[in-house]
Homo-oligomer: A and B are copies of this chain.
Amino acid sequence: MDNFKDKVAERYKAIQNEICKALEKADGSGAFEEELWSREGGGGGCTRIMQNGEVIEKGGVNFSAVHGVLPESVKKAFGVDQAEFFATGVSIVIHPKNPMVPIIHMNIRYFELDDQTRWFGGGIDLTPHYVIEKQATYFHQQVKATCDLFHPNFYSKFKKQADDYFFIKHRDETRGVGGIFYDRLKPENTELSWDEILEFSVAVGKIFAPTYTELINLNKTKAFTEAQKAWQLQRRSRYVEFNLVYDSGTKFGLETNGRIESILMSLPPQANWVYNYEPLKDSEEYKTLQLLRKGIDWV
């Protein structure tokens, strides 16, 4: 068992390295700064942040492997009695400078209480400031191709779960064009072994670098106006709202006294709230809002 925990953590750490290398290459000038930290209750992590790159305004690629005693509130939320936990994962959020380049998020994680109570979770989703339908389709195709290697139902099931999860209820809009979201994956509900689920999770991690590099290259040299930059800052405020109001990873981090700066690295370098802003009908901004809906079949 401890062997398995170590194995997952090692594979995840390797994913972090691979992705950071690819992102530095895609950015061209920015470099990650690394911070190693330990958690008072047990374990620690390695947070890597790039700020003010050529393409990436602020991005974080966080690895952690923590353990300790679960707070009451989390026990209740998980419906478990066991107090000792182990959790390892890689978490990424990238906020690009150019509003034509989308925000992206990826997370893979493994959580364990004991032999009986353990699972994998994760997801990857895309948040374009301006939805370009062809690129949303490309993104979903990449994700589907990986899912299909492991289970014929994974993509359709996890795509729907992403629509439901990455949803800003109080705005009645999705965070972006979605992707996949899965949780509590284990042999009982996947027809896969623990090792195969680990391989799926690593494969989700491996979607990130080539797919986002492609999206960066397609958009990074596009010109943009001040009004388009203002729209980006406005869309980022919705990202903040989602992460602080709904995101369960953020909540878990705040409630387990995680390292605040690593948990909140997902927040954008700058976000604006303009009162009651409504884009003109048929503008690009308006069209984007129309596409922030659940249930769109991008593939």
A251-279, CB under 8 A of B: which get 1 and which 0? 00010000011011101111111111000
Stretch at the interface among A127-135, A208-216, A240-248: A240-248
Residue of B nearest to A237 (CB): B267
Find out whether the CB atom of B268 lies under 8 angstroms from the CB atom of A270: no
Residues of chain B lying within 8 A (CB to CB) of residue A60: 275
Report if A49 contacts B (CB, 8 A): yes
Find out whether the CB atom of B35 lies under 8 angstroms from the CB atom of A276: yes
Whole-angstrom distance from the CB of A191 to the nearest CB of chain B?
Answer: 36
Report if A233 contacts B (CB, 8 A): yes
- Choose from B254, B264, B273 the contact partner of A268 (Cβ within 8 Å): B273
Report if A170 contacts B (CB, 8 A): yes
Interface size class of A (residues with CB under 8 A): 20 to 34
Report if A51 contacts B (CB, 8 A): yes
Which of chain A's residues 143-182 have a Cβ closer than 8 Å to chain B? 169-171
Residues of chain B lying within 8 A (CB to CB) of residue A265: 275
Report if A67 contacts B (CB, 8 A): no
* Contact A270-B269, Cβ < 8 Å, known A244-B244, A245-B254, A254-B170: no
Whole-angstrom distance from the CB of A77 to the nearest CB of chain B?
Answer: 14
- Choose from B260, B263, B269, B271 the contact partner of A274 (Cβ within 8 Å): B269
Residues of chain B lying within 8 A (CB to CB) of residue A97: none
Whole-angstrom distance from the CB of A195 to the nearest CB of chain B?
Answer: 36
Report if A58 contacts B (CB, 8 A): yes
**In the bound complex, how far is the Cα of B204 from the Cα of A281, in angstroms?**
43
Which of chain A's residues 12-28 have a Cβ closer than 8 Å to chain B? none
Residue of B nearest to A264 (CB): B273
A/B interface sample: 16 pairs, CB < 8 A: A51-B275, A58-B275, A60-B275, A170-B254, A170-B260, A233-B270, A237-B267, A240-B240, A240-B244, A241-B264, A244-B245, A268-B273, A269-B272, A269-B273, A270-B271, A271-B271
